[in-house]
Each structure stands twice: as structure tokens, then as C-alpha cells.
């Protein structure tokens, strides 16, 4: 009997020990699981708030960019920055390289329960003065209620004004070449290689200076194969590109689902196709042209079919900002139709604008034979029309060698039809911005060409037509919004220390 009692007690003791061990194991596991869950929760919260901090930084960035894009709409730059603290000290590359600047503190954000967020924004060169490159630096901070370290994100963004003509040869839909056309580029305003980063943006470009303090030195110069570059971009946003047997000294690009067939796309020094110059990553938007609304204009109610020099002796100009411009408002019965050897000439030094927006589905401008349109030295011609344009014969002569001095702005809407055609020996040294027009370059003659830039709905180029993109057009940004040219997150302590003073307010 004592032996049985002893065995029973031993068994009970073993069960108790096992139960205690199991309880201990379960307890330890539960504590570990709770700690792991708590750490995972903290990590998830921190990841969530880190993303929220980046979103807050983007809010500050967008606020600053919106102010920069108001500069063209206010009387003085300071008015675009209402609510900001301004330091208007003049810029000096040595003594004051970061001025003028603005700062602003945005508060009141609640990205989560009992969590607060704030954004500090610093914008350099807030006036958008010529020769300066704006820089925006944003620091966002999120403070959590559990006492854990605050979360901060820093973004540095460099801005540059966008150009409508940054690419050269762009269609919203299809681009079709027939035969052996070609496209290349040149710079009508080449500048000396800069050696001084005058605007302190880290980029040596047209806004800087050479060792003598000079910027652009060369006057406008016409295209020649001797100064050819391979920087034209032939691009379609949402269509296809068919190059036939043509040549592109540059790049060909479509949207994600577009195709590029035929032809040869290559750099200088070869005509062998380079597949890396064909990509499917292009995207662009085309704002409608803004039609001028002058305080007064000169009406034209009849067809102009003989040689005429503008401005005429009795025409009335409009002077705005020290610039004198002659505006001509063509009624539906007012067109330009030239043949023989008649010409429309823009007098040297004159600024002329043709408003031809009553010509839907009819020809607004037609030239044939030896007729043409001539832009004199130092003159400018801007044509705004919803009608058709046909440049044949000897086309247009631009004495400035600068395509920007002659511009055709297609004002037809996306639901309307508009055609612009250059054919025969027609030559056009100009820019064409007609996002809803079908443009045809038909070089049936021995010297049909276009020099400048073209943006259209569709583009057809036939025969031996030559297209030469003027890279100087990519630097024309007046009236265009700012875009981001460089974006980076400042992650290291040394990167952030660069702006410790600016963001320390």
C-alpha cells in the first residue's frame, strides 16, 4: 500500500510539473506574441505615418508650385505669395546665393488619431527672374501620441519653365512618313560653353555665363548639315509612328501602346538604326492656344490677293509693356490668297498678329506659284486661325533664321476639322502649334522643308521633305507653367544639413 501511494504521488507530481512547464511555455509564447504584435503595430504605424509624411511634403510642394505658376498673372511677384514670409534680398552668387526666398509653415494636419502634422516650405528665387532656377525644399513632420520619435521627410525640387516646343515633331495621334523624309535638329542660337554656374542650380546651361561673363553670343543662324545635331524627338502621344524609309537624327517615341515601324533612328555619324532610340514612354499634354484679345485691332473684310506690306500706313497699333504690335481681325470674308509672284510682307522690325478665327472648314491662307509670306528682319508674325492653311510655291521666307518669329496657332477645337499643308518647294521656317489640326508636309519639289517645330493632331510627311528642329525653341518658356526638372528626397543628415537654416524657422 505505501508503495502504491508513493507511485500515485509521483505521478501527480509529474503531471503538475508538466502542467507548470506548459503554462510557462504558453505564457512566454503569449508574451512574445504580444510583444511581436505590439512591435508590428508600431512598425505598421510608423510606415503608415512615414507615407503620410511624404504626402504632407507633397502638399507643401504643390502649394509652392501653384504660387510660382501665378507669377504671370499678378502685377508684382510678391502678390503671388500671399501668406508667405518674404526675404527679397537681391541675388548675389557670392554673398547671397539663396535669395530672394520665401518660407511658410503649414499646420493643423491630423493624419491620424491624436497625431499632428506640419509642413515647412522654403522656395528660392521666388520672383522667377530671368537667369534664375527656382528651388523648393519641403520638410514635413508628424508627431505621434505614443511618444515615439517624430517622423520627418525632406524633398528638394528644382523647377524649370516648360516649353511647348521641347521635343520638335509631335502628334497627338498618328505620324505617317511616305518615301524617304528626314528629321534632324540644330540650334539657331548656339551659346558659348558656360564655365560659371551663375544661377547656382548645379547645371551649366543657357542661364549661366562663360569665363568672360557672356551668355548667348551667336546671332540666329540658319540650318545647315554642318551644324546638325541629333536631338529631335519625333513623338506620338496615343498613336503609332510609321517611318517608311526615312531617317531620324534623334529619337522616336510613342505612348505605352504605340508602335514605331520602318525607317532608321540614329545618332550623328551613322545611319544605322539604334533600337535604344525607339521607346514607348512618351507622354504630353496640349493646352489650347490662348487667342489674343487686344484693346483694338484693324479689321480686314476682303480677300487679300495681291502684294501687301504690313503694317499699312493707316493701321493702328497697340502698345503693351513697351512692345508695339499691329493686330488684324479677319472677318469670314477676309482671307489671304496669293498666286503669281505676290507676297505678304511683314516690315522689318514690326510685330504683326493675324486673327483669322472665322474660317472654319475654309482656307484662311493659300499661297501658290512664286507667291509667299515674308517676315522681315527683326519682325514677328503670329497667325491665330481655325481655318485651313496651304503653303505651296515658294512658301515663306523668314529673314530672321529664327523659327519663333513666325508662328501658326491652330485654334480649331477637338471636334472641328483643320488642315495645314506645305507642298511642292514650299518652305516654312516657323513653329506650328495646332493640336487639333492635321498637318501635311509634302515635299514634292526639290527644296520642300520645314525648319522649326510642329505640334499637331496627326502629321504626314511625304517624299524627300526635310524637317529641321530648332533646339532654341525648347528654351522659349514665356507664359508657360513651371514643371519639375529634378526631384529628390533628402535622406542623409548631410543632405538635410544644407537647408537647416532655411527650414529652421
Could you report the per-residue pLDDT of 210-247, keeping only the tens digit for each?
444 444 444 577 888 888 999 999 999 999 999 999 99
- Asked if 177 and 324 sit in the same domain, the reply is yes
**Cα 71 from Cα 238, distance rounded (Å):** 32
Q: List, in order, residues 6 or more apart from 412 with CB less than 8 Å away.
A: 360, 386, 418, 434, 436, 437
Neighbours of 199 (CB within 10 A): 23
8 A C-beta contact, residue 155 and residue 122: no
8 A C-beta contact, residue 485 and residue 159: yes
Weakest-pLDDT range from 36-45, 85-94, 165-174, 494-503: 36-45
Q: Is residue 450 part of a domain?
A: yes
Instruction: Using the CB atoms, write b or e for 453-465: b if 16+ within 10 Å.
Output: bbbbbbbbbbbbb
> First-to-last CA distance in the chain?
89
Q: Is residue 452 part of a domain?
A: yes
- Asked if 151 and 202 sit in the same domain, the reply is no
**Cα 240 from Cα 234, distance rounded (Å):** 11
Provide the sign of the torsion angle of the four alpha carbons 305, 309, 315, 317, taken in this order. positive
- Asked if 465 and 492 sit in the same domain, the reply is no
Q: List, in order, residues 6 or more apart from 322 with CB less than 8 Å away.
A: none
Q: Tell me what pLDDT residue 4 has.
A: 53
- Asked if 107 and 203 sit in the same domain, the reply is no
**Cα 162 from Cα 73, distance rounded (Å):** 16
Predicted confidence band at 482 (pLDDT cuts at 50, 70, 90)? confident
Beta bridge partners of 264: 247
Q: List, in order, residues 6 or more apart from 316 with CB less than 8 Å away.
A: 296, 298, 326
Predicted confidence band at 489 (pLDDT cuts at 50, 70, 90)? very high
Angle at 325 between CA 319 and CA 326, to 5 degrees: 120
- Asked if 190 and 280 sit in the same domain, the reply is yes
Which H or E run contains 38? helix 2-68
- Mean pLDDT score across all residues of the chain: 86
User: What is the chain's length?
Assistant: 505
> Nearest CA to 444 among 457, 427, 432, 469?
427
- Asked if 333 and 424 sit in the same domain, the reply is yes
> Nearest CA to 250 among 474, 476, 468?
468
Q: Tell me what pLDDT residue 331 has.
A: 96
Q: Is residue 455 part of a domain?
A: yes
Q: Tell me what pLDDT residue 217 has.
A: 44
> Nearest CA to 133 among 505, 482, 407, 488?
482
| Greater model confidence, 191 or 318 | 318
Neighbours of 158 (CB within 10 A): 17
> Nearest CA to 452 among 430, 478, 480?
430
Provide the sign of the torsion angle of the four alpha carbons 7, 12, 18, 20, taken in this order. negative
**Cα 65 from Cα 157, distance rounded (Å):** 10
Q: Is residue 30 part of a domain?
A: no
> Nearest CA to 115 among 141, 140, 145?
145
The pLDDT of 141-167, averaged and rounded, is 87
- Asked if 145 and 186 sit in the same domain, the reply is no
8 A C-beta contact, residue 408 and residue 436: no
Residue 275's domain comprises 168-478
Q: Tell me what pLDDT residue 213 has.
A: 45
Query: Residue 437: is its pLDDT beyond 70?
Result: yes
% residues pLDDT > 70 (the chain)? 85
- Asked if 408 and 489 sit in the same domain, the reply is no
Q: For 16-71, how does the pLDDT look when each residue is reduced to its tens digit (9 = 90+)? A: 787 788 888 887 878 777 777 667 666 777 788 889 999 999 999 999 999 998 88
The DSSP annotation for 104-117 comes to EEEEEEEEETTEEE
Q: Tell me what pLDDT residue 211 has.
A: 45
Q: Tell me what pLDDT residue 398 has.
A: 83
Predicted confidence band at 419 (pLDDT cuts at 50, 70, 90)? very high
- Asked if 147 and 187 sit in the same domain, the reply is no
Q: Is residue 20 part of a domain?
A: no
Q: Is residue 10 part of a domain?
A: no
Q: Is residue 136 part of a domain?
A: yes
- Asked if 335 and 206 sit in the same domain, the reply is yes
**Cα 365 from Cα 332, distance rounded (Å):** 12
**Cα 103 from Cα 84, distance rounded (Å):** 6
Weakest-pLDDT range from 77-91, 174-188, 236-250, 374-388: 77-91
Q: Tell me what pLDDT residue 443 has.
A: 62
Q: Tell me what pLDDT residue 424 has.
A: 60
Q: How far is CA 121 from the centre of its chain?
A: 23
Q: Tell me what pLDDT residue 431 has.
A: 93
> Nearest CA to 160 among 484, 489, 498?
484
Is-cis flag, bond preceding 192, omega within 30?
no
8 A C-beta contact, residue 282 and residue 253: yes
User: What is the count of structural domains for the chain?
Assistant: 2
| Greater model confidence, 95 or 107 | 107
Q: Is residue 36 part of a domain?
A: no
Q: Tell me what pLDDT residue 457 has.
A: 97
Cα Rg of the chain, angstroms: 33
% residues pLDDT > 90 (the chain)? 50
- Asked if 172 and 149 sit in the same domain, the reply is no
- Asked if 142 and 199 sit in the same domain, the reply is no
Q: CA 216 → CA 131, 195, 207, 354, distances in Å?
A: 12, 13, 9, 31
Q: Tell me what pLDDT residue 441 has.
A: 87
Q: For 282-340, how does the pLDDT look when each residue is reduced to its tens digit (9 = 90+)? A: 988 888 899 999 999 999 999 999 999 999 999 999 998 899 999 999 999 999 999 98
Q: Tell me what pLDDT residue 99 has.
A: 77
**Cα 170 from Cα 235, distance rounded (Å):** 5
**Cα 50 from Cα 38, distance rounded (Å):** 18
Q: For 364-416, how does the pLDDT look when each residue is reduced to its tens digit (9 = 90+)? A: 999 988 888 999 999 999 999 999 999 887 677 888 878 889 999 999 999 99
Amino acid at each position: 500500500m505505501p508503495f502504491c501511494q508513493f507511485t500515485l504521488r509521483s505521478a501527480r507530481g509529474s503531471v503538475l510539473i508538466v502542467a507548470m512547464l506548459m503554462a510557462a511555455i504558453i505564457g512566454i509564447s503569449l508574451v512574445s506574441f504580444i510583444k511581436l504584435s505590439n512591435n508590428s503595430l508600431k512598425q505598421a504605424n510608423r510606415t503608415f505615418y512615414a507615407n503620410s509624411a511624404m504626402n504632407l511634403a507633397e502638399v507643401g510642394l504643390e502649394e509652392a508650385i501653384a504660387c510660382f505658376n501665378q507669377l504671370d498673372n499678378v502685377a508684382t511677384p510678391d502678390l503671388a505669395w500671399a501668406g508667405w514670409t518674404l526675404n527679397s534680398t537681391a541675388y548675389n552668387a557670392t554673398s547671397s546665393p539663396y535669395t530672394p526666398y520665401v518660407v511658410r509653415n503649414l499646420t493643423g494636419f491630423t493624419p491620424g488619431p491624436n497625431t499632428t502634422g506640419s509642413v515647412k516650405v522654403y522656395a528660392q528665387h521666388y520672383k522667377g527672374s530671368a537667369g534664375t532656377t527656382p528651388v523648393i525644399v519641403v520638410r514635413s513632420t508628424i508627431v505621434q501620441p505614443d511618444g515615439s520619435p517624430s517622423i520627418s521627410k525632406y524633398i528638394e525640387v528644382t523647377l524649370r519653365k516648360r516649353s511647348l516646343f521641347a521635343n520638335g515633331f509631335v502628334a497627338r495621334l498618328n505620324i505617317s512618313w511616305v518615301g524617304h523624309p528626314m528629321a534632324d535638329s540644330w540650334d539657331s542660337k548656339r551659346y558659348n560653353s558656360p564655365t560659371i554656374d551663375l544661377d547656382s542650380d548645379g547645371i551649366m546651361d543657357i542661364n549661366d555665363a562663360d569665363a568672360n561673363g557672356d551668355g548667348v553670343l551667336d546671332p540666329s543662324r540658319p540650318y545647315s548639315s554642318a551644324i546638325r545635331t541629333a536631338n529631335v524627338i519625333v513623338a506620338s502621344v496615343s498613336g503609332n509612328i510609321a517611318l517608311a524609309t526615312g531617317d531620324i537624327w534623334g529619337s522616336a517615341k510613342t505612348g505605352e501602346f504605340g508602335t514605331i515601324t520602318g525607317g532608321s533612328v540614329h545618332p550623328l555619324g551613322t545611319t544605322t538604326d539604334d533600337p535604344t532610340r525607339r521607346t514607348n514612354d512618351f507622354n504630353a499634354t496640349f493646352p489650347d492656344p490662348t487667342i489674343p484679345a487686344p484693346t483694338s485691332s484693324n479689321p480686314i473684310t476682303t480677300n487679300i490677293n495681291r502684294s501687301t506690306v504690313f503694317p499699312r500706313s493707316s493701321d493702328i497699333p497697340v502698345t503693351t509693356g513697351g512692345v508695339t504690335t499691329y493686330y488684324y481681325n479677319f472677318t469670314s470674308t477676309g482671307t489671304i490668297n496669293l498666286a503669281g509672284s505676290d507676297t505678304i510682307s511683314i516690315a522689318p522690325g514690326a510685330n504683326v498678329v493675324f486673327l483669322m478665327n472665322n474660317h472654319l472648314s475654309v482656307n484662311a491662307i493659300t499661297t501658290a506659284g512664286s507667291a509667299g509670306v515674308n517676315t522681315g528682319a527683326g519682325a514677328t508674325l503670329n497667325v491665330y486661325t481655325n481655318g485651313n492653311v496651304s503653303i505651296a510655291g515658294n512658301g515663306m521666307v523668314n529673314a530672321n533664321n529664327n523659327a519663333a518669329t513666325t508662328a501658326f496657332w491652330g485654334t480649331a477645337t477637338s471636334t472641328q476639322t483643320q488642315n495645314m499643308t506645305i507642298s511642292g518647294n514650299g518652305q516654312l521656317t516657323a513653329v506650328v502649334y495646332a493640336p487639333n489640326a492635321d498637318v501635311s508636309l509634302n515635299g514634292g519639289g526639290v527644296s520642300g522643308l520645314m525648319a522649326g517645330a510642329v505640334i499637331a493632331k496627326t502629321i504626314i510627311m511625304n517624299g524627300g521633305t526635310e524637317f529641321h528642329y530648332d533646339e532654341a525653341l525648347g528654351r522659349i518658356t514665356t507664359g508657360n507653367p513651371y514643371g519639375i526638372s529634378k526631384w529628390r528626397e533628402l535622406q542623409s543628415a548631410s543632405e538635410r544639413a544644407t537647408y537647416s537654416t532655411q527650414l529652421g524657422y
